[in-house]
Structure 1
Amino acid sequence: MLRLLLLRHAEAAPAAGGGDINRRLTAGGRAAASRIGAYLHKAQLVPELALVSPARRTLETFEELQFGAACEIPRIVAPSLYNASMGTVFALLQETPANIERLLLIGHNPGLAEAAVLLSREGERAVLARLRAQFPAPSLAIIDFDAVDWRQASQDAGRLDIFLTLTSNELQGGA
């Protein structure tokens, strides 16, 4: 079974002189990303590999998540994830080595939200409805695939297992 974790970056400050790509996380965004990492650690969902957009807010989200998870997670900065379309997200999945069973992508909307919706054929009806309604910063969708190779992880092939947002009970007051 393959497990995909799609994480929209944590809350970022408005764009300043450095432009959108250089937006930093807010203090609340840092805390939220760390709580997500702690949740992943506690739930034994720490990924084997993270593909991260080169935007400052996604890199900071990864660093805080890693801190919260209390472990080192191998990371690849994937330039194509910066404001990626869902097609780009799908292409990155197709390129992932089969020996990686838990993959984390940290990126941006609307591409991540669209990919999460299109990949999630099954799941609890109420959770699927929440996912389809919004994918705020930060949001984490965990989608499982009955596959042994990422090339089989395609549209309508996954099952939405978990969908968390900052207001999710699992993330309130730490994990």
Structure 2
Amino acid sequence: MPRLLLLRHAEAAPSASRRDIDRRLTPGGRSAAVRIGAYLRSAALAPNLVFVSPAQRTLETLQEIERGLGRDLPYVTVPALYHASAETIFAVLSEAPSNIDTLLMIGHNPGFAEAANVLSKAGNKADLARLRAQFPAPCLAVIDLAPIDWSDANHARGRLERFVTLATLEK
């Protein structure tokens, strides 16, 4: 059963004088991404592959996750993930190699929140309620998908296995 990790990037600085795509993580965002990486390590959730948006903040989120995880991850920068809609996210998912068990996607709202909501048909009621209420920066939705391969992911009866935010990491 494929496992999808949908991660909204960590907190980024406002786009005062920069283009949106060039926004960098704040110091707090960097720290938070390291914590998410450490969580992935401790929960044995390291992905086989990462699809990441080309935005500076998503690439920096990946770098800090690798730091917290303690190793580099194979990744592909996917231009279509920059401010992608849920439909675009599903199209990108359908292109994932069939030999990948766990895929991490790092991107942006509102598309990531919409995709997580569409895919999460079942799961712990409290986690589902928190997911539907807010998808903060950063947060991680771990979704187990029922199809045999990624090409049918958008039709999956996904199960939200867990929903991780900084607040839940502090508990």
TM-score for the superposition, normalised by structure 2 = 0.97
Cα distance, 1:16 vs. partner? 2.9
Contact map agreement 1:2 1:150 (CA 8 A) in 2: yes
Aligned partners of 2:77 and 2:57: how far apart in 1?
13
- What SS class does the counterpart of residue 144 from structure 2 fall into? strand
Partner of 1:132: 132
1:19-58 matched pairs, under 5 angstroms: 19-58=19-58
Contact map agreement 1:141 1:164 (CA 8 A) in 2: yes
- What SS class does the counterpart of residue 34 from structure 2 fall into? helix
Partner of 1:172: 170
Q: Is 1:64 paired with 2:79?
A: no
Partner of 1:102: 102
Aligned partners of 2:5 and 2:126: how far apart in 1?
19
Cα distance, 1:17 vs. partner? 2.0
Aligned partners of 2:85 and 2:38: how far apart in 1?
29
Partner amino acid, structure 2, of 1:172 = E
CA-to-aligned-CA distance 1:111-148 (integer Å, 9 cap, x gap): 00000000011001111011000001001000001232
Aligned partners of 1:154 and 1:88: how far apart in 2?
10
Q: Sequence identity, in percent?
A: 59
Aligned partners of 1:156 and 1:45: how far apart in 2?
20
CA-to-aligned-CA distance 1:51-82 (integer Å, 9 cap, x gap): 00000000000000011000111010000000
Cα distance, 1:156 vs. partner? 5.1
Q: RMSD value over aligned CA atoms?
A: 1.1
Structure 1: which 4+ aligned runs deviate by more than 2 Å?
A: none
- Seen in structure 2, the aligned counterparts of structure 1 residues 10 and 40 have a Cα distance that, compared at 3 Å, is same
Cα distance, 1:18 vs. partner? 2.1
Q: Is 1:157 paired with 2:157?
A: yes
Q: Is 1:14 paired with 2:14?
A: yes
Give ranges in structure 1 of 5+ residues lacking alignment. none
Aligned partners of 2:155 and 2:112: how far apart in 1?
13
TM-score for the superposition, normalised by structure 1 = 0.95
Contact map agreement 2:145 2:156 (CA 8 A) in 1: no
Partner amino acid, structure 2, of 1:83 = H
Aligned partners of 2:156 and 2:110: how far apart in 1?
18
Partner amino acid, structure 1, of 2:3 = R
CA-to-aligned-CA distance 1:138-161 (integer Å, 9 cap, x gap): 010000012321112224520000
Aligned partners of 1:133 and 1:155: how far apart in 2?
23
Cα distance, 1:166 vs. partner? 1.3
Contact map agreement 1:16 1:23 (CA 8 A) in 2: no
